[in-house]
Amino acid sequence: MEKFLRNMFVFLVYVLYIFLKALALIIPLLVSVAFLTLLERKLMASIHQRKGPNVVGFFGILQPFADGLKLFIKETIIPTNANNLIFVLAPILTFILSLFIWCVIPFNDNSIFVDLEIGVLFTLAISSLSIYGIIISGWSSNSKWSFLGSLRSAGQMISYEVSLGLIILSVLICSGSLNFNEIVESQRNVWYIFPLFPLSVMFFISGLAETNRAPFDLPEAEAELVSGYSTEYSAMGFALFFLGEYGNMIFMSCLFSLYFLGGWNFSFYFFSNSSYFWLGFKTTFILVLFVWIRAAFPRFRYDQLMRLGWKIFLPFSLSWFLFIVGFLICFDYLI
């Protein structure tokens, strides 16, 4: 009996440790999403020569919390003809997957929730599942506009995941590992953005398409589809989709930093430093590019979007992957 109680105590302590560790990952992420919305509105206001949020709190710094409180206290309205259970579960699934994918992302050498040797495959698998939440939301709404928006999003994400996979394969060939720590360590002398610059540009553009951001925001085209797959959602349902979308933006920016910018390492000639700050700085820089592109570029037509993905990115990423493989094999043979 004493041994059983001791084992139960150890188990409860371990569960509490995992719970606190998960909170330490989730809470900063949600706060980052909140202030990313403020950063986006302030940057776009500056680009458009207007003020942006400046009433709630000093310099509008409390505006994200006011928006979140408004969505939290609003009434959740479910359409009469909707499939109630699936309609409610769709945004929850999207939000949970956007959080779950962060468990294999390292923030430093030893700061990671789960250190998987196949961390890259895990992120690809979870990101592929996120399309189900969008498809389910469009179908369960029983609205033709929502369903059309979800179909657009599914086609767009599937199209660009193919080229994204080939680009990631090129990075994996260069690093020789599926572990994020080893991918970052392999860039200690030179970041992959220099030898793989064309692939880094394609990865960034594909990231815009994967997160449904302008100029590839066809699933949420306000002019034609009102708000796409989230048209029938309000209150917390809309908030969960919103959190999932912006969480995926941060995730794609962090992936870009890990794959092409050396992650938490900063090496420049004789200066070398490793810190959380550098990963955060690089991720924020990519997020600023996301916002700038939204403010500066018009939306693509859907046929242009598909043409770019299938006729330009796919052949180019495949040919570059074969070139890298051939180059490395020849280099090893000569040595």
* Residue 270 pLDDT exceeds 60: no
- Select from 109, 167, 183 the least CA-distant residue to 317: 167
Residue-averaged pLDDT of the chain: 87
213 within 8 A of 293, measured Cβ to Cβ: yes
pLDDT digits (tens, 9 = 90+) for 39-73: 999 999 999 888 888 888 888 889 999 988 998 88
* Residue 200 pLDDT exceeds 90: yes
State how far the alpha carbon of 1 is from the alpha carbons of 8, 12, 15, in Å. 11, 16, 21
pLDDT at 13 (0 to 100): 87
Helical pair 2-47 and 235-260, crossing angle rounded to 10 deg:
90
Rounded Cα–Cα distance for residues 266 and 268 (Å): 7
Q: Place 221 in a pLDDT band, splitting at 50, 70 and 90.
A: low
Q: Place 259 in a pLDDT band, splitting at 50, 70 and 90.
A: very high
> 280: burial class by Cβ within 10 Å (0-12, 13-18, 19+)?
middle
* Residue 318 pLDDT exceeds 90: yes
Higher pLDDT residue, 184 or 226? 184
Rounded Cα–Cα distance for residues 31 and 108 (Å): 20
pLDDT digits (tens, 9 = 90+) for 17-47: 888 888 888 999 999 999 999 999 999 999 9
**Which pTM value belongs to this model?**
0.92
* Residue 280 pLDDT exceeds 80: yes
CB atoms within 10 A of CB 258: 26
Average pLDDT rounded to a whole number, residues 150-165 = 88
pLDDT at 215 (0 to 100): 85
